[in-house]
Amino acid sequence: MKVYKARAPMRIGFFGGGTDVSPYAEEHGGKVLNCTINLFVRCALRPADTPGITIRSLDLAEVSRRVTGRDWDGRLALPQAVLDAVHGDTRMLTAHQHRLADASGVEVLMFSDAPPGSGLGSSSALVVSMLRMLYATYEATADPHTLAELAYQIERVDLGIPGGRQDQYAAAFGGMCVYHFGASRVIVEPVLADPAALLELESSLLLGYIGDRQLLDNHLMQDQVQRLARGDTLRYHDETKAFVDQATRMLRALRIDEFGLLLHDAWEVKKAFSPHISTPYVDEVYALARKHGAWGGKITGAGGGGFMVFACPFERRLELTRVLTEAGVQLRPFSFTTHGVQVWATEETNDAVAVSDPR
């Protein structure tokens, strides 16, 4: 039987986060610098004997089902919305039953390399990977802009999940890029493609999980948008955006130490967006990292928890690794990637798997 699989990378947001959120992006122009990493959200779609569509989240141990003409039975709202957006209960079933296999339904499997609320853009990576997989199922193509915009529509409009656009674009395009967000278009500007330059930056960074993000408890994103709408934080957003151009020049000149020090400056400004962005534990960990040689660092997402990234000199890396581990930070090895979402197909039997149609 034919099985389609896809994976989309998560990202580390370095500078400009928050300026991709409405209404700032439309009114003032947003700008974000991020890079994708080798932590992925992965999904697969295959024919199944169970009627209708079955969604299985392997890491959350959740199942949703839908039979044609009925509502979803289950709590996996995000993948449900993706399938609804592309008419999953009709087009996808037709494609699989008539073209791929003699089956009464289909099954979608998924899991993430990072926990929910990681601040690495895992939700958007899930949406982009599912969309790319479904397009491949229909033997259709979609450029990265189309995928990113449709993913944004599903998350931010259809489901009303607050946030910006950088996660969807990073998952679709991949690599180290500056994303320019305006009222009518998005411009993608690649920053680094030289493997040696990416390796030099990568060797100075540590990525660590500090705990669950309290986004749902304190309505962090809504709080930031409300403060911006009142004009309380407009100047901080402007300062955050200005860091992007500085950081880009430093990367292209391989001034990694200055890049790390700029992370510290940007983190101090970012915390002014909302009192909920940092927590006492985050402040404690960050102060400890700085004491043991870190140039700077930041939370990788909206704030409140998840993953933090730290930049440090090569000779302080082991020392910083030790003290952060002792402080309870779960360090995670990673490397940068230069590609966005990927999809491929396999012919699976009981005895073997044959790969076909790589895209």
Could you list the active site residues? Answer: 167
Helix (H) / strand (E) containing 178: strand 176-181
The full DSSP string for 2-63 is EEEEEEEEEEEEEE-TTTTSTTHHHHH-EEEEEEEEEEEEEEEEEEESSSEEEEEETTTTEE
Q: Distance between CA 151 and CA 142 in Å, rounded? A: 12
Q: Distance between CA 232 and CA 118 in Å, rounded? A: 27
* Residue owning tokens 């979608």: 108
Tokens representing residue 328 in the block? 């309870």
Looking only at the bridges linking them, the beta strands covering 52-57 and 105-112 are parallel
Contact between 327 and 320 (Cβ < 8 Å): no
Closest residue by Cα to residue 33 from 178, 180, 139, 134? 178
* Residue owning tokens 């044959």: 354
In the chain, the N- to C-terminal Cα span, in Å, equals 19
Give 153's DSSP letter.
Answer: I
Q: Give the Å distances, CA to CA, from 214 to 117, 303, 306, 354.
A: 8, 8, 9, 43
Closest residue by Cα to residue 149 from 179, 177, 119, 120? 179
Give 179's DSSP letter.
Answer: E
Omega before residue 280 within 30° of 0, cis: no
Q: Give the Å distances, CA to CA, from 46 to 37, 108, 350.
A: 27, 7, 14
